[in-house]
Amino acid sequence: MIDLKTPQEAHNWRFKQGSAKIGFVPTMGALHEGHAELLRRLRPRCEKLVLSIFVNPTQFGPNEDFSRYPTHQPQVLEADLQLARELKVDAVYLPTPGVMYPPEASTWVEETRVSQPLCGPLRPGHFRGVTTVVSKLLNAVQPHIAYFGLKDAQQFFVLERMARDLDLSVSIEGVATVREPDGLAMSSRNRYLSEMDREKAPQIFRALTEVEQAVLRGEQPASVCDRARHALSASGFEVQYLECLELPNLLPSQNPSDAPLLIAAAAKLGSTRLIDNVILRPEKLAPLNIRVHL
Ligand code: AMP
Q: Does ligand 1 come within 6 angstroms of the Cβ of 81?
A: no
Task: Please spell the DSSP secondary structure of 218-269, one letter per residue.
Answer: T--HHHHHHHHHHHHHHTT-EEEEEEEEETTTTB--S-TTTS-EEEEEEEEE
Tell me what the mean pLDDT of segment 276-291 comes to.
Answer: 98
Mean pLDDT (whole number) for 286-291: 98
The pLDDT assigned to 272 comes to 94
Active site residue 35: yes
Condensed to tens digits (0 to 9), the pLDDT of residues 176-226 reads 999 999 999 999 999 999 999 999 999 999 999 999 999 999 999 999 999
pLDDT at 245: 98
For 2-50, the pLDDT digits (tens) are 999 999 999 999 999 999 999 999 999 999 999 999 999 999 999 999 9
Q: Calculate what percentage of the chain has a pLDDT beyond 70.
A: 100
Residues contacting residue 242 through CB under 8 Å, at least 6 positions apart:
207, 208, 211, 225, 228, 229, 232, 263, 264, 265, 267
Closest residue by Cα to residue 139 from 6, 15, 11: 11
Q: Measuring from atom 18 of ligand 1, which residue has the nearest CA?
A: 34
For range 98-113, the mean pLDDT: 98
Ligand 1 contact via 175 beta carbon (within 6 Å): yes
Distance 149 CA to ligand 1 centre (A): 5
0.95 exceeded by pTM: yes
Choosing from 32, 35, 126, 144, the catalytic residue is 35
Q: Is the CB of 151 under 6 A from ligand 1?
A: yes
Give yes or no for residue 187 CB within 6 A of ligand 1: yes
- CA torsion, points 126, 81, 145, 108, in degrees to nearest 10? 30
pLDDT band for position 135 (cuts 50, 70, 90): very high
DSSP string of 57-101?
Answer: GGGS-TTSSTTT-GGGSHHHHHHHHHHHHHTT-SEEE---HHHHS
Q: Is 173 helix (H, G, I), strand (E, B) or coil?
A: strand
Mean pLDDT of the chain: 97
Q: Give residue 172's Cα distance to chain centre.
A: 12
- Closest residue to atom 11 of ligand 1, CA basis: 149
